[in-house]
Structure 1
Amino acid sequence: MSDEKKILVTLDGSKRAERTVDYLCSFKPFRNRQVTLFNITTPVPEAYYDLTRDSFRKIAVAQVKAWEMGQKKIMTQFLEEARQEMIAAGYAPGNIGFKLSSREKGVARGILNEIRNNEYHCLVIRRRGSANSILGITMGGVAAKLVEKADTIPLIIAGTREIRHYLCIAVDGSPGSMHAVRFTADMMGKTDCRILLCAIMRTTVTDSVPEGQDPFADMSLQAKHMLDDALVQAKEILTRAGIPEDRIETRLVQGAQSRAGALLDVARTAECDTIVMSRRGVSDVENFSLGRIPRKIIYASRKFTIWLIP
C-alpha cells in the first residue's frame, strides 16, 4: 500500500543528479512514497525559429530543432534509468513517475510553479546542479533561490555522506522546531532509524544554581529548563510515531560560542548523515523566510543532507 504523500525530486541529468538518485535509493523511508522525478529543459530561443528567409537559415533552424529534440530524448532516458535504478532498490514501479517541463521564465520559478500546482509532501534538491556550476561555490543559483523561496514545503538538500539513517534534529523550544520533529516522526516512524535531539545554549548553568541572586543566572536557568522540556516533548513525539526509545538520544550543549558551529560539531562527532532544522527559530520573524542558524548550517555543511522544515 503506497503512501499518498508525494515527493518531488529535481534532476538535471548531471553527475551530481546521479548522486541524488543514489540518495533516494539509499534512504529506505522514501520507498513507500510516491516520487516524481522532475526536469525543466531549456528550449532554444524562439528567435531561432524566425530564421526562415534563406536556405542556409532553414538548415540552421532544422539543426536547432534536432538538437532540442535530442536533449529531451537524453533527459527522458536519464529519468527512465533513474526510475529503474530506484525500482531495483525497492521502490514500487507504480510509485515512481517522471515529468519534463519546458523552461519559461527560469528553472527555480518553474519548480516553484510545479509545487504550487500540485500537492507535494516535500522537495528534494542538490546544492549544485550541472557541470556549469562554479567549483568551490557551496550553493548553485537555482538551489539558493529554492532555499529562500520554497518556504511552504519541507526542503531536503541531498548531501554526500553515507546514509546510515542517523538524524540530528535541532531543538530550540520553538513551534518551528516541533514542526521539524513531527515531520521527522512522520517520515521515520516505525523504522529502526536513530535520532539525536540536540539543543544548544550559549550560557552554562546547572540546576544547583540558587535562584533569585543573579538575574542573568536566573534567565540562563529558565532557558535551560525550557530546552530540557522541549527535548522531552520531542522525544515523546518520536516514540508515539513508533521509533523505539532506545534509538533516541537527547543532548543539551551549553556554553556554545556559535550555535550553528556547535550543532555541526555534534552531528559530525556522532557521525549523523542528516541534520533536521526549522526554517525559523525562537524569534520566528515572519519577514524573513530563513533564520540565521539554518542559513549558516546550509552553507557550512557541504556533505550533510539537510532537511529544512517550514
Structure 2
Amino acid sequence: MATLPVILVAVDGSNQCMDTITYISRILSPNQINIELFHVKTEAPEAVFDLGGAEGFSTYEAEISNWNSLYGTQIQDFMDKARKVLTDAGFPPDAVNATIRSKKIGIARDIIDESELGCSAVVIGPKGFDTLPDFMMGSIAAKLAESITHVPLVIVGSQPEPHKVLVAFDRSRRIRKGFDKVSRLFSKSLEEILLCHIIRPLSVPHPVTCTYFTTRTEAHWLDEHSRRITSRAGAIARDADTRGFGTIVVGRRGTTAVEGFTMGRVTRKILSLAFNKAIWIV
C-alpha cells in the first residue's frame, strides 16, 4: 500500500493559525493525506531574552514557570481544537498527528529541519501573534518563504475562499511540475481551477503620443489599456480578487530565474499584494 503524503502544518496557537487549519480542512482531500500539526515550543516569552541571558531567567524564574504551564495548556487545547476541525471535515483521526517539540535551534530552522524528513508540503500562516499590518509577513513566514525550496510552501492569509484556485501559469517547467504535484492534494469538491497567463507587452504607446488622442477619448483609452500596462503580479492579484479566487498557485521562480536568488520578483510581489489569499509556492 502506498504511503500517503504528509502535510506539515506549523502552528502557533493564534486565531490566524486556526484560520489556516480551517482552510486546509476544506481544500485538501481528506482520505488521501496525513496531517502533521507541528509546534515549536519556546522555553520563555521572547521578551525575557531581551533581559540578558541567564540573569533575566533567574530574576523571573517564577513568572517563567507560570507562563510555561499556561502556555503548554493553551497549545494542547489548540491542538485538540485543530484536530476536531480536521476530523469534522472528514480526515480520519489516525491521519492527524500533533507534535509539540522544544526549540532546538530556532523556530524557523526547526520547522525547516522537520520538513526535510519527508513531508510533501509545508503550511504556515503569515503572521501568528505578530502585530503587523495585514500586507506584511511575520519573521517566521518570511524566513520559510526564502528557505523552503525542496517542497511546496503554503502561506495562508486571512480566511481565504478555499474552493477556487488560480494558477499563475508561465512557460517554466517548475510551475508545471509543481502544480501537477499539489493538484493531487486538492479536494474533489473544488469549484474552479483557472490557468492564468499574463503576457507583458514590449511597449504601450503613451496617450500623448497618439495622434488620435483627445480629451473625449481619454477615458476610453485608459479603459482599453489599463490591463496591458499593469504588472504581472498586480494583474494576478487583481484577477484573484475580482473573480473570487482564494488560492493562488505560483512558481518559486519563473523562466528568468537568477542564480543565487531563491524566489522570483513576481512571486515576491504576489506575496505582498495578495496578502488575504492562500499562496502555494511550488
Q: TM-score, normalised by structure 2?
A: 0.80
The farther-off stretch of 61-70 and 299-308 is: 61-70
1:284, CA displacement in angstroms?
A: 2.3
62 and 203 in structure 1: CA distance in 2 versus 1, 3 angstrom threshold: closer
1:305 corresponds to 2:275: no
1:191, CA displacement in angstroms?
A: 5.2
Alpha carbons 2:19, 2:159 under 8 Å: kept:
no
Deviations 1:225-250 (A, max 9, x none): xxxxxxxxxxxxxxxxxxxxxxxxxx
Q: Distance in 1 between matches of 2:15 and 2:200?
A: 41
Q: Distance in 2 between matches of 1:81 and 1:150?
A: 27
1:164, CA displacement in angstroms?
A: 4.4
1:140, CA displacement in angstroms?
A: 0.5
1:270, CA displacement in angstroms?
A: 2.1
Alpha carbons 2:161, 2:244 under 8 Å: kept:
no
- Name 1:125's counterpart in structure 2: 124
1:279, CA displacement in angstroms?
A: 0.2
1:240-255 paired onto structure 2 within 5 Å: 255=228
1:211-226 paired onto structure 2 within 5 Å: none
Return 5+ residue gaps in structure 1 as ranges: 52-56, 206-253
1:168 corresponds to 2:166: yes
1:61, CA displacement in angstroms?
A: 3.7
1:43, CA displacement in angstroms?
A: 0.2
Residue-pair matches, total: 253
Q: Distance in 2 between matches of 1:129 and 1:64?
A: 21
Q: Distance in 2 between matches of 1:153 and 1:136?
A: 26
Alpha carbons 2:40, 2:103 under 8 Å: kept:
yes
1:293 corresponds to 2:266: yes
- Name 1:149's counterpart in structure 2: 147
Q: Give the alignment partner of residue 262 of structure 1, picking from 235, 254, 265.
A: 235
Let me know the Cα RMSD of the aligned residues.
2.7
1:174-253 paired onto structure 2 within 5 Å: 174-188=172-186, 192-203=190-201
Alpha carbons 1:157, 1:307 under 8 Å: kept:
yes
- Name 1:79's counterpart in structure 2: 79
1:67 corresponds to 2:67: yes
Alpha carbons 2:160, 2:276 under 8 Å: kept:
no
192 and 62 in structure 1: CA distance in 2 versus 1, 3 angstrom threshold: closer
Amino acid at match of 2:97: G
297 and 121 in structure 1: CA distance in 2 versus 1, 3 angstrom threshold: same
1:273 corresponds to 2:271: no
Return 5+ residue gaps in structure 2 as ranges: 204-226
Q: Distance in 2 between matches of 1:5 and 1:71?
A: 30
Q: Distance in 2 between matches of 1:3 and 1:159?
A: 30
Q: Distance in 2 between matches of 1:306 and 1:31?
A: 23
- Name 2:34's counterpart in structure 1: 34
Q: Distance in 1 between matches of 2:31 and 2:201?
A: 42
Alpha carbons 1:277, 1:294 under 8 Å: kept:
yes
Q: Distance in 1 between matches of 2:66 and 2:158?
A: 36
Amino acid at match of 1:260: A
1:63, CA displacement in angstroms?
A: 5.2
Q: Distance in 1 between matches of 2:148 and 2:72?
A: 26
1:176, CA displacement in angstroms?
A: 1.4
Alpha carbons 1:201, 1:256 under 8 Å: kept:
no
1:180, CA displacement in angstroms?
A: 2.8
Q: TM-score, normalised by structure 1?
A: 0.73
